[in-house]
Chains A and B, each alone.
Chain A
Amino acid sequence: MNQNIDTTALPRSKIEELKNMGYHYCSDVEANLEDLRSVLNNDWEELAKVPKVENALEIFQKEVLSGCILTYNKELDKILQNVICPQTITEFTGFSGSGKSQVCFQLCISVQLPKWCGGFGGQALYISTNKNFNSSRLRELAKNFLRDYNSLKVRTQKTEYNLTEESIMQNIHYIDIISGEDLLSCILLLDNYLEGKNIRLIVIDSITQPLKTMEVSARFGLLNRFFQQLRILSNQFDLAIVLTNDLTVRFNEKDAIITPSFGDSFYHMVNSRILFSKNYSVFHAKLLKSLNNTQIEADFYL
């Protein structure tokens, strides 16, 4: 059985052109590549490319070396072990004021922890859609982080790898978004921006607002294109992605259930989901979905 040229990403018009010339299968095109240069303009190699086959051992070695992003909050890290890894998408959900953005700020700082003590030594990109970005709070968190980091340096008698409040703030990039279309175009053009920078974490806070303003029928397609592009980016630049999502109410007969927005297909597309809540001053996090399939909970203070 041969592969039909319909299955490639060639534009419709080119496919018709090739079929009129009697080429129906990829193998035939490959055999006559020299004659078809004028039609295909050297695109064929890219189109016929098969994604790399890796064995699980290679992936395991890579995963062990890269590790995952933690918050350095002892209680919260119990559930974040192996969750926010490069090339995966994590969703934070919960009512407003449940600590989602706070944890995101913390992640933006902790991704900068140098490699010698098990960090990523990278930068972060914060895409805000709800103007929740608070630089003074970020500075406060950076101060706390520096205190711990410097005491660690003294203990291990390291003198290099200085971090300062300024350098931490400079390594967090910030983009402000208003509408859903903006968000998609921003993601589509992001690879230019990421080129040459060492960004290892993208936070999108929140994904709900811009999508809710869109028409429901347009939302589904947009969301899936958005996820596809995020995966391509995270694969290309080896970065972790964190989204925040709001809660909504769903009716089933006489029950009203509070669930995260955008339904089951959205839930399917993310790799992990963490539900945040707050009771007085105690924050609570519950890992609902994860790659290693364990559901654990933790109480923590911010």
Chain B
Amino acid sequence: MVFKLINDMVSSFQLQMDRLTSDIHSLLNKDLVKELHKRNIYTVIDLIKAIQVDRKVVEKISKLHLREIVDLNKFLLKKYGPCAENAFEHYQRIILQSAILQTGIGCLDKLLDGGLFTGYIYEICGLPSSGKTFLCLSLARHILTTTKDQVYYIDTKHDFSATAFRHMLADSKDQAAEILSRLLVVRVHSRPEFLNTLFSIKKILRVKQTSKLLIIDSLPALYFLNGNHTENNSFLNYTVNILNYLVNECNLVILVTNLITLWSDGDIKKVDVMKERISCGGYWANVPNARIKLKRKHETCIVNLTKAVKAIPPNCECELKFTSQGFV
């Protein structure tokens, strides 16, 4: 039998560090919580550790019976620990909840094996002005016109122009206002704002799934803000955690745009050779489940699939045309 851990607690592979309160369990009354706090046992993990280290001490503080403490311990582990899920159940849940969002671009759908799968993070990368934002808008347009879902758009450098998007909706006539009202744009300027936004989206989607697509345009604008590697990694870590949670638990497709820059190598012999480099560092490079690379060529855009959800198809290239309604 195969067991699979679902990452309900991607943030720490151990227990959650929720603060002990009196509404967790009937045995934990207000006085007991106060007493525990006094002895530096603040969080769920602190209490479980204390029980593991010396059950007698906890017994003394709480004046509970051994049986009750064991029950409490079991309850806490079940509620706050990672839970194992049978592979078959997991498979059934995935089949029930997930969906494939078609992109509306024939050759891109073929390349992506049908479209965008919920539960995955897709990255769109390319040199500046290669059509990354335009591809995002084309996909948003297709989802908004063919379904009744909302689309979230996190804009980090004010690249979203509603006027430009309205032009792409020229043939939907009187429905245009309704379509526009379902595209929710958040403009963020700093990292904490960005993470607050992601957590607030999580809160909304946990209540009711009103959206299947979240677009983040662009990540490097936030990543570049700081040159400190430790802070950058910690920022990416928290971002990746919440993104993983959103795709898995809220069944979203997340599109992230990333930048490719040209660099000359440090090597003296090759000092005049420019190399392409994907931004946001080596850690991020492993995060997206699929990577779509764009390259502009006059009025068309060459799309290259460099990382795929399943296997990369033998023909991993296709050509998109810029039109007034988006990519075709």
Contacts and interface: CB of A to CB of B under 8 A. Distances in A.
B180 to A, nearest CB: 4
Q: Is the interface of A mostly helix, strand, loop or mixed?
A: mixed
B287 interface: no
Interface string A245-257: 0000011111000
Contact of B159 (A220, A251, A271): A271
B contact residues, range: 35 or more
B216 to A, nearest CB: 14
A262 B264 CA distance: 13
Contacts of A198: none
Q: Is the interface of B mostly helix, strand, loop or mixed?
A: mixed
Contacts of B21: 31
B10 A1 contact: yes
A291 B249 CA distance: 34
Contact of A292 (B161, B188, B260): B161
B185 A56 contact: yes
Contacts of B273: 252-253
A251 B272 contact: yes
Interface stretch (B54-62, B103-111, B192-200, B302-310): B192-200
B238 A7 contact: yes
Contacts of A235: 158, 187, 189
Nearest to A9: B192
Interface in A254-276: 254, 263-265, 267-269, 271, 273
B131 interface: yes
A6 B8 contact: no
Interface stretch (A46-54, A141-149, A187-195): A46-54
B18 A2 contact: yes
Interface residues of A, number: 66
A22 interface: yes
Nearest to A54: B185
Closest 4 CB pairs of A and B: A22-B42, A60-B162, A291-B161, A267-B128
Given A267-B128, A293-B131, 6 more contacts: A23-B19, A24-B17, A56-B165, A56-B184, A89-B158, A293-B133
23 contacts: A1-B245, A3-B196, A7-B191, A8-B196, A9-B190, A28-B18, A48-B196, A51-B187, A51-B189, A54-B184, A54-B186, A55-B184, A57-B180, A82-B161, A227-B221, A228-B189, A234-B158, A235-B187, A264-B127, A288-B129, A291-B159, A292-B161, A293-B131
